[in-house]
Amino acid sequence: MAHPEYVLFFDNHTMQACPDVGHKFDAELFADSVKEIGAELVGFPAKCNQGFCYYDTKIGIRHPSMKPGHDYFGDLVAACRKRDIKVTAYLNCGLSNEDGVRHPDWCQIGKNGEFFHSEVMHSMITPYARIMCINSPYRQYILSLIKEVKEKYPVSGFLLDSFNAFPCYCRHCVEGMRKLGMDPENDKDAEEYAILSAKSLAQEISDIVQPRKDDLLMYCLGLSARDNLKYGSYLECECLPTYPNWGYDALPLRSRYLRTVAKDEPVFNMTGRFYAWGDFGSLRTAAAVEYDLFLGRANGMRPNIGDHIHPSGLYHRGIVDRLKEIYATVKQYDPWYRDAANPVDMAILFSGGLATNSMKMAVRMLSELKMQFDCVDPLNDWSKYKVLVLPDDILLTDELQAKIAEFLKSGGKILATGESGLDPEKKQFCFEKEWGVKFRKEKTFNPAYFSMTGDYKDLIPALPLSVYSDCVETEALPGTIVAGNIVAPYYDHKWDGVYSYFYTPPNGVTDLPFVTFTDQVAYCSGKLFDGYNTAASVELRDICKAMIGHLFADPMLKIESGLPSFGRAIVSEQPGRLMVHLLNYLPEKRGEMLIVEEALDAFNVKIKLRLDGKAVKRVYLAPNGEEIPFEQNDDHVTFTVPSICGYGLAVAEY
Ligand SMILES: [Zn+2]
């Protein structure tokens, strides 16, 4: 299948009380609107999280207000196909409220024996009011719906939602755990069984859908990227930046990770035209959605805009106009996106699962410094990276120790902070000689301050500055360069029974190292990235920059002037072309919401790009081809982009 590039996903879940589902739906008009927007693929619910089906089902529960005989989903598929628009069927596998109402025995049971209600949901007014147990007879039911949809409609794939893997203590799960020799009273066993259950459901669905054999798209939301490539056939990066779970630090991280996991599979960048799923009354500005999509495009992802259609079937003109404008803007650059790869110098290591604040801030700092980097997990091949960053709390399991040993042996450099590099029991650094420091204890002062010394004295203003996070206590080994020291407070933050030690200014410089350098490792004993998350103190970023500078002198890209710290610069490459994507948008916290209202101008952006032996013939701006004068010497090309508004793409042909 020629995989589509521009996608719309309709997140439609409709209450049983809604009186007119699909009554105003005109499939031909809808498909015309999708065509007008410029989307090539539509994701649309065959079954929503309320448990209702929108297609002509013999097995499932039709939405009660759909007109008799109306095949909402089927009409949509037929009208879209007439216009060469593909449709994937969305089915929610973990949530299905109406099925829970009718079959309480299909619902998850919590450890206390009551119906399970996720603690992360703070009220009953949530799609998670009832959660289905995928080991109950519900499993066969959902499998039969997927089979029915596949057999009945010429869909191009399936987007399957809510593989939550919450532990369940229903009869089916408890018996299942015991059968595998697991102990239902042991939380770890229950968690592991829930994950096994989600994976085995994905496998059974995969056996029905056969995505690789039948050339269909399949993705299970909630499973890891690596699992999805096993059971499914593409990757989806669900990421609304306005949603507290994600924010503006999630997409830069996920995009840099997913591109290292996918081989030839497409990666969709699923943002939204609204602030939140289920928010029917918002339309984000074109600049806000473009920022998400350009960032995704620069990192090899394909645009997918999350949307709602009114339950009556009306697709509001205001949405069509906005999305059409956005896709037209992004599409101008398509020839420079296709099959582009991202050359990089460095990688940040994380578990591959949920990102910690430290991980997010490592991505943010390196982005602010305009470094070119991937995010990798322990399974990636690290051999192409000059530097590996271990942010704050990367403890070295046996598996990681073996990989780090190999990386160091091949000449790789490491930037480590805080506890990173310690063994899992936090007894010692696994590579003490390479790290150049000996572990003493997990935490020093509260609060810890720092000052720089020697050649690095002037890196920060002349006063002790706060780390805003914990420092590990270490001692430098002979030969290690100490570039900064921890400064102790007069006393720790504490309550001593009589006095509250709230005011804790710095006292004296200690001999405890803050930043150290060896040939291969730059180490900061403070949790630099966690500190940046707390206070965004720019001097912490200056420390990070100096650490990188010690490890390698010539980063791939330097923005010498013209782009602010919040501007982003990403290098990509096609045969014969190196490209620099410049993004100048500023997410602003306005009241309780993070918004981007407009694209910002940037002028005279001076760029220096490392060429690694290439000879540049021409530099121009895409898409209009405006020529840019350039100079090439010492394996670098330098040029100045006169102006951009929001997004600009400079191309160096070689
Ligand atoms: Zn169960």
Domain harbouring 219, CATH code: 3.20.20.80
The answer to whether residue 2 is domain-embedded is no
The answer to whether residue 341 is domain-embedded is no
CA of 64 to the centre of ligand 1 (A): 28
562 and 478 together in one domain: no
What pLDDT is stored for residue 119 in this prediction?
67
297 and 426 together in one domain: no
- Quick one: 224 exposed, middle or buried, by C-beta within 10 A (0-12, 13-18, 19+)? middle
Listed residues 278, 301, 331: the one ending a domain: 331
From the list 199, 226, 221, 209, the residue with the least C-alpha distance to 306 is 221
Listed residues 271, 300, 331: the one ending a domain: 331
CA of 509 to the centre of ligand 1 (A): 58
CA of 255 to the centre of ligand 1 (A): 34
List per-block mean pLDDT (blocks of 10 residues) for the chain, which spans 654 residues. 87 98 98 98 98 98 98 98 98 98 97 81 84 98 98 98 96 98 97 98 98 96 97 96 92 97 96 96 98 98 97 98 98 97 97 89 98 97 97 97 98 98 98 98 97 97 98 98 98 97 97 98 98 98 98 97 98 98 97 96 98 98 98 97 98 98
DSSP string, 153-206: S--SEEEEE--------SHHHHHHHHHTT--TTSHHHHHHHHHHHHHHHHHHHH
- Quick one: 327 exposed, middle or buried, by C-beta within 10 A (0-12, 13-18, 19+)? buried
CA of 161 to the centre of ligand 1 (A): 18
Domain count, the chain: 3
The answer to whether residue 208 is domain-embedded is yes
CA of 143 to the centre of ligand 1 (A): 16
CA of 136 to the centre of ligand 1 (A): 6
The answer to whether residue 467 is domain-embedded is yes
CA of 168 to the centre of ligand 1 (A): 4
What pLDDT is stored for residue 256 in this prediction?
97
CA of 116 to the centre of ligand 1 (A): 10
327 and 352 together in one domain: no
33 and 160 together in one domain: yes
350 and 315 together in one domain: no
CA of 458 to the centre of ligand 1 (A): 61
The answer to whether residue 340 is domain-embedded is no
527 and 603 together in one domain: no
Q: What is the DSSP letter of 43?
A: E
CA of 245 to the centre of ligand 1 (A): 26
CA of 236 to the centre of ligand 1 (A): 27
CA of 97 to the centre of ligand 1 (A): 16
In angstroms, the CA 296 to CA 292 distance is 6
Block residue for tokens 């090309």: 637
What pLDDT is stored for residue 577 in this prediction?
98
What pLDDT is stored for residue 115 in this prediction?
85
CA of 137 to the centre of ligand 1 (A): 10
The answer to whether residue 370 is domain-embedded is yes
CA of 482 to the centre of ligand 1 (A): 56
From the list 151, 210, 159, 116, the residue with the least C-alpha distance to 10 is 159
Block residue for tokens 């990192």: 299
What pLDDT is stored for residue 165 in this prediction?
95
372 and 230 together in one domain: no
CA of 222 to the centre of ligand 1 (A): 17
CA of 211 to the centre of ligand 1 (A): 27
CA of 199 to the centre of ligand 1 (A): 14
CA of 195 to the centre of ligand 1 (A): 12
36 and 181 together in one domain: yes
The answer to whether residue 338 is domain-embedded is no
CA of 140 to the centre of ligand 1 (A): 14
- CATH number of the domain at 621, please: 2.60.40.1180
What pLDDT is stored for residue 271 in this prediction?
98
68 and 91 together in one domain: yes
In angstroms, the CA 272 to CA 400 distance is 37
564 and 496 together in one domain: no
- Per the structure, the complete domain to which residue 383 belongs is given by 346-551
Torsion of CA 638, 643, 648, 651, to 10 degrees: -30
Structure tokens at 601: 């101008």
Contact status, residue 527 vs residue 549, Cβ threshold 8 Å? no
- CATH number of the domain at 460, please: 3.40.50.880
What is the b/e burial string over 547-564, where b = at least 16 CB atoms within 10 angstroms of the residue's CB? bbebbeeebbbbbeebbe
CA of 138 to the centre of ligand 1 (A): 10
Q: What is the DSSP letter of 132?
A: B
User: Can you give the pTM of this predicted structure?
Assistant: 0.97
The answer to whether residue 101 is domain-embedded is yes
Listed residues 505, 529, 551: the one ending a domain: 551
Mark residue 485 as left, alpha or beta (left: phi above 0; alpha: psi -120 to 50; beta: remaining).
Answer: beta
365 and 480 together in one domain: yes
CA of 362 to the centre of ligand 1 (A): 39
608 and 544 together in one domain: no
CA of 229 to the centre of ligand 1 (A): 26
Q: Phi then psi for 310, rounded to 5 degrees?
A: -60, 140
CA of 124 to the centre of ligand 1 (A): 20
In angstroms, the CA 262 to CA 233 distance is 10
List the shell of residues around ion ligand 1, using CB closer than 5 Å.
133, 135, 168, 170, 172-173
DSSP string, 264-303: SS-EEEEEESSSSTT-TT----HHHHHHHHHHHHHTT-EE
The CA-to-CA distance between both ends of the chain, in Å, stands at 32
At position 19, the amino acid (one-letter code) is P
From the list 68, 52, 72, the residue with the least C-alpha distance to 60 is 52
CA of 175 to the centre of ligand 1 (A): 9
